[in-house]
Amino acid sequence: MIAHSFAKAAPAPALSIVAPAYNERPNIRPLVHAIARAMGEATWELIVVDDDSPDGTAAEVAAMVGEGAPVRCIRRVGRRGLASAVVEGLLAARSELVAVIDADLQHDETRLPVMLELLRTSDVDLVVGSRHVAGGGMGEWDMRRQRMSRVATWIAHRLAGVAVSDPMSGFFAVRRAVVEAAIYDLSQQGYKILLDILTSSPRPLKVAEVGYVFRDRHAGTSKLDVVVLIEYAFLLIDKLTRGLIPPRFVLFCAIGGLGLACHLAVLDLAIGQGMAFLPAQATATLCAMAFNYVLNNAITYRSARLKGARFVLGYLVFSAVCSLGALANISVANLTLREMGSWPLAGVAGALMSSVFNFGVATHFVWRPRRRRRRAKVVLRADA
């Protein structure tokens, strides 16, 4: 056996810092310099987990690496989501102590040394950067966003049993072993990874809280919208049902319910305008399909949403899937009616069958993630 000698690896930094990113190129350099000023003499590394940003976020990280900054990038292709990005960054950290911070400079990096010191000198498992304790604040948030945050916090306290003051915070530091212990129970849904960790841990965690004032984004556009709130609701569904009900399926069915309301509204309007039932029913069906498709594309399958020509093709495939689902509905309902003799039960069985069928087939054929393929250039050389 041939013995190999390897250069001694550099010691692990005192703190690994994970920053999930999407289209954050203009914020990378200011973030690195801000962390460097805040950390002082303490050793650190920044792990930017980039969801294949089209604005060149990964290239900017590479430029900082070339300048000697303690930064590296995990570039994710074909998958997106803040929670899963944070988990990948945590598992790739070199330090046993890991902090999570937004890449847009909204979190106060000067609190990182305080978080690090608490983890190093006490037995706490997790330190939360809180906007709701002494020294904390919402900054320039308007009343609408403050109300949304308060409602989400109240729900987390009541339904999930989380006792920390700011379970919605995306700014925290944790022992990597805590995440590794809960890794197979993490939902990784949506944006609230802290709540995911708190509710997935196999044991009660010792938590400390450090106040910070939330700041305005340095550059770029905010990712906060109504879909973030919906994804938060699905994280709660996943936790409350212990993963038995896929959150995306719940949303798919909820939009189906809205589609039924749309169908009935169009049907009523068409009949009110003197249209015969069958043409009115056909019109209402087409409108409901289009309604369901647009909402599912924008919300349920947001991370794989279709645009341009693929949007049109997706609609045609979705309509075909729903037509097959209707046949499955009728077949199962008819079978249940014959066997059980109950039309309400038959109706429920048919609706459930079509929902499961439509969800499974649409997920696989309409919104299945597509990878961009690049053809390799083959160059043949013939030596004389």
If asked whether residues 92 and 171 sit together in one domain, one would say: yes
- How confident is residue 159, by pLDDT bands cut at 50, 70 and 90? low
Q: pTM (2 decimals)?
A: 0.69
111 plus 159 within the same structural domain: yes
Q: Could you give the CA distance from residue 340 to residue 334 in angstroms, rounded to a whole number? A: 10
Where b means 16+ CB within 10 Å and e means fewer, 160-198 reads bebebbbbbbbbbbbbbebbebbeebbbbbbbbbbbbbb
Q: Which helix (H) or strand (E) holds 143?
A: helix 143-159
What whole-number distance in Å separates Cα of residue 308 and Cα of residue 183? Answer: 37
Label residue 226 by pLDDT band (50, 70, 90). Answer: low
**Do residues 60 and 205 both lie within one domain?**
yes
Q: Is residue 237 part of a domain?
A: no
Give me the CATH number covering residue 192.
3.90.550.10
**Once rounded to an integer, what is the mean pLDDT over residues 85-96?**
93
Last residue of a domain, one of 208, 223, 238: 223
Q: What is the 3-state secondary structure (H, E, C) of 242-300?
A: CCCCCHHHHHHHHHHHHHHHHHHHHHHHHHHCCCCHHHHHHHHHHHHHHHHHHHHHHHH
* 209 within a domain of the structure (yes/no): yes
Q: Give residue-wise pLDDT tens across range 320-365.
A: 888 877 776 667 666 776 777 665 666 566 666 777 778 888 888 8
In a domain, 381, yes or no: no
> Confidence band (pLDDT; 50, 70, 90) for 121?
very high
Number of Cβ within a 10 Å radius of residue 73: 21
Q: Confidence class of residue 379 from pLDDT cuts 50, 70 and 90?
A: very low
Residue 183 lies in a domain: yes
Indicate whether 326 and 187 sit together in one domain: no
User: Is 178 found in the same domain as 31?
Assistant: yes
pLDDT of amino acid 212? 92
Mean pLDDT of 32-39: 96
Beta bridge partners, 20, equal 49
Strand 172-175 relative to strand 126-130, pairing = antiparallel
The pLDDT of residue 50 is above 80? yes
Q: Using DSSP, state whether 16 is helix, strand or coil.
A: strand
Query: How much is the pLDDT for 68?
Result: 93
| Same domain as 280, residue 216 | no
What pLDDT does 377 receive? Answer: 45
**289 and 163 part of one domain:** no
Give the whole-angstrom CA distance, residue 99 versus residue 119: 11
Instruction: Please identify, among 154, 188, 223, the residue that sits at the C-terminal boundary of a domain.
Output: 223
Asked if the structure places residue 380 within a domain, the reply is no
| Residue numbers of the domain that contains 280 | 247-365
> What is the tally of structural domains in the chain?
2
Overall average pLDDT of the 205-228 stretch:
73
The reply to whether 46 and 95 lie within a common domain is yes
The DSSP symbol for 366 reads T
For residue 309, give Cα distances in angstroms to 312, 314, 321.
5, 8, 18
- What confidence score (pLDDT) does residue 230 get? 64
CA angle 283, 255, 80 (to 5 degrees): 125
In a domain, 90, yes or no: yes
Across the chain, mean pLDDT equals 80
Query: What's residue 376's pLDDT?
Result: 42
Report how far residue 61's alpha carbon sits from residue 48's, in angstroms, rounded to the nearest whole number. Answer: 8
**Is residue 68 domain-resident?**
yes
Asked whether residue 242 is domain-assigned, the answer is no
The encoded tokens of residue 153 equal 């916090």
Largest Cα span, the chain: 89
**Same domain assignment for residues 269 and 219:** no
Q: Are 99 and 112 in contact (CB under 8 A)?
A: yes
Select the more confidently predicted residue: 157 or 285. Answer: 285
Q: Are residues 31 and 156 in the same domain?
A: yes
Look at 109-118, 266-275, 338-347, 371-380 and tell me which has the smallest mean pLDDT. 371-380
What are the tens digits of pLDDT across the range 283-315? 887 888 888 899 888 878 876 778 888 999 998
Q: What is the mean pLDDT of residues 274-286?
A: 79
Return the pLDDT at 6.
64
Indicate whether 194 and 333 sit together in one domain. Answer: no
- CA torsion angle for 79, 82, 85, 91 (degrees, to 10)? -150
Characterize the bridge pairing of strands 15-21 and 71-75: unpaired
- pLDDT exceeds 50 at position 29: yes
For the chain, the straight-line distance linking the first and the last C-alpha, in angstroms and rounded, comes to 41
Q: Are residues 177 and 287 in the same domain?
A: no
